[in-house]
Amino acid sequence: MKLTTKQLTLCAVLTALALALSYVENFLPLSLAVPLPGVKLGLANIVTVFALYALGIGQAFLILIARCTLGALFAGNLNALLFSLLGGLSAMAIMALLSRSKCLSVYGVSIGGAAAHNCGQVAAAVLTLGNTAPLYYLPLLLGVSLFTGALTGFAAGLLFRALEHTSLMKA
Amino acid sequence: MPMKRSPEVRPKPADALVALAVLLLAAALALSAWGGGRSGGLTAVISVNGQVTETVNLSRLSGPEVRELNANGYTLHVRLSPDGAEVIDSTCPNQVCVHTGHISRAGQSIVCLPARISVTLSGGAEDGVDAVLG
Amino acid sequence: MRRFFAAALCAVLACGLAACSQGGEQSADFYAMDTTMNVTAYGKGAKNAVGEAQTEVDRLESLLSRTRTDSVISQLNAGTANRAVGMEVWDLLSAAEKYSIATNGAFDITIAPVVSAWGFTTDHYQVPDQSELDELLANVGSVHIHLGEESIVTLDDGTQIDLGGIAKGYASDCVEAILAKDGVESAKVALGGNIYVRGSKPDGTAWRVGVQDPENSDGFVGILSLTDAFAVTSGGYQRYFEQNGKRYHHIIDPATGYPAESGLTSVTVVAPGNEEETISDPGHGTMCDAFSTALFVMGEKKAVEFWRSGGYDFQMVLVTQDGRVLVTDGLKDKFEQEDGSGYAYETISRSPS
C-alpha cells in the first residue's frame, strides 16, 4: 500500500483527531446518565468510519492501530491497549463489512460499529478477568450502542457533507 | 485523492435492520447471561476455611432455601433466596454473622470468623461493587 | 497487499503484547488478624505479589498479635522490663502515640484491658463494674508507654497494648509496598474492613467501593469511586452484644471506658496511596485505620474540626444517628449517593459556612 504524502498527512491528522476525540470524551461522561462500566460515546469511531469510506480499509486500519497504541502510551496504561484494540478492531471489521452494502446509510454502519466495539471491549474484559462476569453488562451496553452509534453516524455524516466539495476529497 | 466511496448520509430503511439485529443480540445475551432471574444471575459463594465449597445461583432458586453449614465446631443456618442471603442463627460466640443481617448486593458478604465460614454475593446486577467497606 | 499483512501482523503482535501484560487475575483469600482477607492483583507481577502479600500478613500477625504468646507485643505486655522491640514495632508504636496525641486520646492502643473487661477479646460478653473500669482506666493513656533509645519500650505497671486498631492498616501499607515492588498496576486488597485499591480496574474504570448502611444490611449509603487509595470504616453495628435491652458495641471510648456514644453510626476515612515512605511518617493505611476509630469516638463536631485543621491529608464519610450522611468536599465527585437510602446528604467544606 503506497501512500502519497498527502495521504500520509491526512492519516496523521485523522489519528490526532481520533486521539483528541477520545480525550474529550472523558469530559462528557456518559456514565453519569448510564451507570455501566465502560460506557462511553465512542467518538473516535467517527474517524474510523470516515477513514473507511474516504481512504479505504488499509489506511483506516493504520489509523486505528496508531490511535490505540498512542492512546494507551499517553494514558500510561498499557492494560487499556487490549480493550481499545479489541473494541476498535471489532468495530472496524463490522463497519468494513456493512459499508459494502448499498442498502445502508452511515447510520446503520455506525450503529453496527458501536455494537461491535462494545462486544470487543467486553471480550477484552472477559480475557482479563478470567471469568464471564462482564457479559452481564453487554445487553445493556448494546442497547446504549444504538444511540451512540446513531450519534457518531450523524457526526460522520456532517463531516462527509462538509468535505464533499472540498479539494481534500479530490485527486 | 478522490474519496473511495461516499456513504449515504441520510438514514435508510435498512438501517433499522441493523438496529434490530443489535437488539436481538442484546436480548439473546440477556436471556442466557441473566438466566431469566430477577436480579440477573446473583450468585452466592460459600467458603469454608478460605476454600470455596459451594456456588449457588440464587436467581435460579424457586424459593428460599436454608442450608446448614458446619465447620470448626460451629453450626450456622443460612437462608438463601433469589434476593440474597442471611444467617438465621449460629452457635458462634460473637454472633457477628447474625448481626450482619440480610445481604443482597454483589460484593457484600457475611463472615463467621469462629467458624471460618463466609457467604459472598457476586455476579449479575449492574449495581454491584468491587468491595464493601464496613 | 504485503504492507497490509505486515500491518496486520503488527496488530496481532500488539494484541499479544497487551495480552501478555495482562497476566490475568491472581487472587488469594485467607484468614489472618482475626478477620477475612483478600488480595487480588492483575497483570505481570500479580502472582508473585499475591503470594508475598499473604506471607507478609502472616509475618505481621506473628509480630503484632496480642493473642499469640510469642509475638513481640505479647512479650511486651507480659513483662514491664525494658524491651527492645525492633525498629518496625518501635516505629509503629511511635505512630500510634502520634495519632493518640493528635486525637486527644480518642485513639489509644492502651485501651486493651478495658476492651477485654467487656469480653470482646474472648467473646464472653459482660458489662463491667464501674469500679473495675475506674481501676483499669488508670492505666490507660499514651503517657504510659515509654519509647526509648535503640527501640527500647517500657510500659507502666498494668498497662497493656493492643495494636488491633492499627495492625490491619499497617499491613495494608506493607502490602502496598509489595505491590509497588512487583510492578503491579491494578489491584484490590481487603484486609477485614481495611481496603486498599491500586490504580484502576483492568478495564480502566475506578474501583467501586460500597459504604455499608449501618441501619440496613442490604444497602449502601453510597459508593466511592477510588483509584490509588486507602479506605477504612469503623462502626458498632456488627460487633456488639445486648444486655437488658441495651446494646454495647466494641468501640470503647478511652475517656469513659464505655462504648462510644458519639452520635455517629459509622465513620469512613479515605486517603491517597503512599507516594514515598518516610520513617517518621507512617503510611496512609495505618493512618486511616487509626483515624476511623478515633473519629467514631470523637463524634461529628470534633471530627469535622479535626479534618478542617488540615494537619492530615484524608477525606471522610460520616453517618449520623439522626439520619445524615456527611461527605467531605474532597470526596464529592467520587461519592455516588444511594437513591432511596433515606439519608440526608451533606457536604462538609474546608471553611465553616
Q: What pLDDT score does C123 carry?
A: 84
CA distance C292 to C288: 6
The rounded mean pLDDT for chain C is: 88
Task: Note whether residue C107 is domain-resident.
Answer: yes
Q: Which residues of B touch A (CB under 8 A)?
A: 1-15, 17-19, 21-23, 25-27, 29-30, 33-34, 40-41, 122-127
Question: What is the per-residue pLDDT across C199-242, written as a single tens digit (0 to 9) for each?
Answer: 998 888 899 999 999 998 888 999 999 999 999 999 988 888 99
Least confident of A30-39, B64-73, C110-119, C193-202: A30-39
For residue C153, which phi and psi values (nearest 5 degrees)? -130, 135
- The amino acid sitting at C284 is H
Those of residues 86-145 in A touching chain C at CB distance below 8 A are 86, 89, 121, 124-125, 127-131, 134
Residue B124: pLDDT over 80: no
pLDDT at C78: 87
Residues B74 and B92: beta-carbon distance below 8 Å: yes
Measured distance CA(C131)–CA(C137) in Å, rounded? 10
What does the pLDDT read at residue C17? Answer: 53
CB pairs under 8 A between A and B: 113
- Please give the model's pTM, rounded to 2 decimal places: 0.69
What's the pLDDT at B23?
92
Number of domains in chain C: 1
Q: How confident is the model at residue A34 (pLDDT cuts 50, 70, 90)?
A: confident
Closest Cα in chain A, distance from residue C277 (Å): 23
Asked if B49's CB is within 8 angstroms of C31's CB, the reply is yes
C350 — pLDDT class (breaks 50, 70, 90): confident
Per CATH, is B42-123 categorized as 2.60.320.10? yes
- Kindly state whether residue C2 falls inside one of the protein's structural domains: no
Show the domain range for C41. 24-348
Instruction: Please state, as a whole number, how many other Cβ atoms lie within 10 Å of the Cβ of residue B126.
Output: 13
Q: Do A105 and B26 touch (CB under 8 A)?
A: no
The CATH number of whichever domain residue C297 belongs to comes to: 3.10.520.10
- Chain A: residue whose CA lies nearest to B123: A133
Write down all domains in chain A, each with its CATH number in brackets.
5-169 (1.10.1760.20)
CB contact under 8 A, C188 and B130: yes
Chain C residue closest in CA terms to A58: C4
- Between chain B and chain C, how many beta carbons pairs sit less than 8 Å apart? 91
- What is chain B's mean pLDDT, rounded? 84
Query: A170 to chain B: which residues are within 8 Å by CB?
Result: 1-2
| A114: closest CA of chain C, how far (Å) | 18
The closest CB to that of C238, out of B100, B105, B116, belongs to B100
DSSP assignment string, C235-293 = ESSSSEEEETTEEEES-B-TTTSSB--SSEEEEEEEEEPPSS-BTTB--HHHHHHHHHH
Spans of all domains in chain B: 42-123
Q: Is residue B82 within 8 Å of B38, Cβ to Cβ?
A: yes
